[in-house]
Amino acid sequence: MSVEIRDGKKILVTPISADDLKDIKIGDIVYLSGSLTTCRDVAHRRVVEEGREIPVDVRNNAILHAGPIIRPIDPDNGKFEMVSVGPTTSMRMEKFEYDFVKITGVRVIVGKGGMKENTSNACKDFGAIHCVIPAGNAVVAAVCVEEIVKAEWRDLGMPETLWNCRVKEFGPLIVSIDSQGRNYFEEKKIEYNRKKDEQIAKISEQVKFIK
Amino acid sequence: MTQVEKMTDIIAKFIGHTAKKLPDDVIAKLTELRAKEDSPMAKVIYDTMFRNQELAVKLDRPSCQDTGVLQFWVKCGTKFPLIDDLEALLKEAVIKATFETPLRHNSVETFDEYNTGKNVGKGTPTVWWDIVPHSDKCEIYTYMAGGGCTLPGYAMVLMPGEGYEGVTKFVLDRMTTYGLNACPPLLVGVGVATSVETAALLSKKALMRPIGSHNPNECAAKMEKLLEDGINAIGLGPQGMGGNCAVMGVNIENTARHPSAIGVAVNVGCWSHRRGHIIFDKDLNCEVLSHSGVKF
């Protein structure tokens, strides 16, 4: 069983199966314990376009769209500390995400802001979810990292390296795409745009300063 | 220690402080907005934000990993003794703060496309000068312009027929496209002027104004309030995920315009609005106006 409830928190513990995710819906708040690997632009390109094998096994585990600040402790022996880590805009990975999920078997994608059909289709077809961690909270996120287990593709530099972390109750994670393919941001945007048009009409009546 | 070294040191320390602690007006406004949210999701988001700011101070780390490009708006008296050295010492202070704080390396040389690794480059940090005649003081606003809150920036010139109704649409359209990803609740800066560059600069300077301050022009102040209430009513909430309030305020700055044009621009500050305000006298005695309890 990979879903635990502790102190009222719903915690996903890796490895996670598609079955574990089936009762999790958009708007739910969850936490993650276990294997989380930072993975962003170039790593997605390498896996999807270059066909390279990802050197960290993310199957049934989680990735985080992020470029952290890392402090080397003993870099020759692969020891690093997570100083500060926050999500980056997930939308940049949208074009790769369907194939990325298909190839790697990742279950939980964490980032910032919404994603679109490529990702929601992947979540639906392969049993995965996309979550956002509230951005700007780099210290909260960093203290959830117990250990950086390994660092791969270090040739990509600090932000783009695959930092494979062992995390404890990493979150809060707000589910933005669930494994049925429902998309929180896309649903909210319909409501936002409707209300925006109402507000433009309302304000316009009161700012006729050019007469 | 020379006077130049002294001022460099103070500014480097002040920059470091602003990376770790938000200014008083932002903390007060976030506290007020937090109390206005009733959904469990918005409450969890605010709880995370406040816990993060506490931890940042406790662990002495930048509260957000994106410590931005440093930008300074300087109002310098012509008789301030270090006026000749100011631009160079601000650059030096950024390098010092980058290693001491530490700050993320956020200066990529354009066209050559490499990160300088020092947070400074051609034209960075940004320095805007206002020269103040007959004064021997120097007033500096510091700002960390992160990537997320820089992205919504937008400027254009409207035809007068579009009027302030066009300005309204221009600002609100930006909120539902880019604004919701820029870490609301936002401080929204709007410039209304005669061309793109005059409006754009004003939209950034508007973000240096304290939250809760108003444009002295009655109509402009009315529009600030209308836009604030209007953006809140869209329901973007914290992090754009839904809620009662999406802005900390809307600040409009303006100039006169050509009869044929309305220059308009929008710039936003994220909830983690890392703005500092410090004033030096001619002997480098300084007063920090943005953060209470900070002395150098």
- Quote the tokens at residue B55: 């931890």
Domain span at residue B255 reads 148-269
Model pLDDT for residues B240-271, shown as the tens digit of each residue? 999 999 999 999 999 999 999 999 999 999 99
B56 touches chain A (CB under 8 A): yes
A112, A140, A204 member nearest B48 (Cβ): A140
Of B23 and B108, the structure prediction assigns the larger pLDDT to B23
Contact A193 B66 (CB under 8 A): no
pLDDT of A75 higher than 90 = no
> Between A and B, how many CB-CB pairs are < 8 A?
149
B252 and B161: one domain? Answer: yes
Fold of A3-183: fumarase (3.20.130)
Contact A192 B176 (CB under 8 A): yes
Which residue of chain A is at minimal alpha-carbon distance from B238? A134
Contact A195 B234 (CB under 8 A): yes
Model pLDDT for residues B131-189, shown as the tens digit of each residue? 999 999 999 999 999 988 999 999 999 999 999 999 999 999 999 999 998 999 999 99
- Quote the tokens at residue B144: 């960390």
B48 touches chain A (CB under 8 A): yes
ipTM of the complex: 0.94
- The contacts found for B222-229 with CB under 8 angstroms, 24 or more apart, are B222/A206, B222/A207, B223/A207, B223/B164, B223/B167, B223/B168, B223/B252, B224/B249, B224/B250, B224/B251, B224/B252, B225/B250, B226/A203, B226/A206, B226/A207, B226/B168, B227/A203, B227/B168, B227/B171, B227/B172, B227/B188, B227/B190, B227/B252, B228/B188
The closest of B220, B204, B271 to B241, measured between CA atoms, is B271
C-alpha pair distances (Å), A48 with each of A42, A43, A152, B26, B234: 10, 9, 17, 43, 38
B152 touches chain A (CB under 8 A): no
Specify the pLDDT at position B42.
97
Say how far apart CA B251 and CA B264 lie, in whole Å: 13
Can A65 be counted among the known catalytic residues? Answer: no
The closest of B106, B124, B105, B144 to B21, measured between CA atoms, is B144
B45 and B119: one domain? Answer: yes
The partner residues of A69 in beta bridges, in order of sequence, read A84
B255 and B172: one domain? Answer: yes
Residues of B in contact with A208 (CB under 8 A): 163-165
On whether the CB atoms of residues B175 and B227 are closer than 8 A, the answer is no
Q: Which amino acid is at B119?
A: N
Specify the pLDDT at position A72.
87
B264 and B290: one domain? Answer: no
Q: What domain count does chain B have?
A: 2
Question: Where residue B113 falls among pLDDT bands split at 50, 70, 90?
Answer: confident
Model pLDDT for residues A28-63, shown as the tens digit of each residue? 999 999 999 999 999 999 999 999 999 999 999 999
> CA-CA-CA-CA torsion for A134, A138, A139, A141, nearest 10 degrees?
60
Indicate the domain borders of chain A.
Answer: 3-183
Contact A210 B164 (CB under 8 A): yes
B159 and B229: one domain? Answer: yes
Query: Which residue out of A200, A202, A208 would a mutagenesis test of the B interface target, given it has the greatest number of B Cβ atoms within 10 Å?
Result: A200
B131 and B1: one domain? Answer: yes
B278 touches chain A (CB under 8 A): no
The closest of A140, A171, A81 to B102, measured between CA atoms, is A81
Specify the pLDDT at position B115.
87
The closest of A204, A209, A201 to B160, measured between CA atoms, is A209
B136 and B164: one domain? Answer: no
pLDDT of A1 higher than 70 = no
B90 and B231: one domain? Answer: no
Contact B241 A132 (CB under 8 A): yes
B152 and B77: one domain? Answer: no
B56 and B176: one domain? Answer: no
Neighbours of B190 (CB within 10 A): 29
Say how far apart CA B210 and CA A16 lie, in whole Å: 47
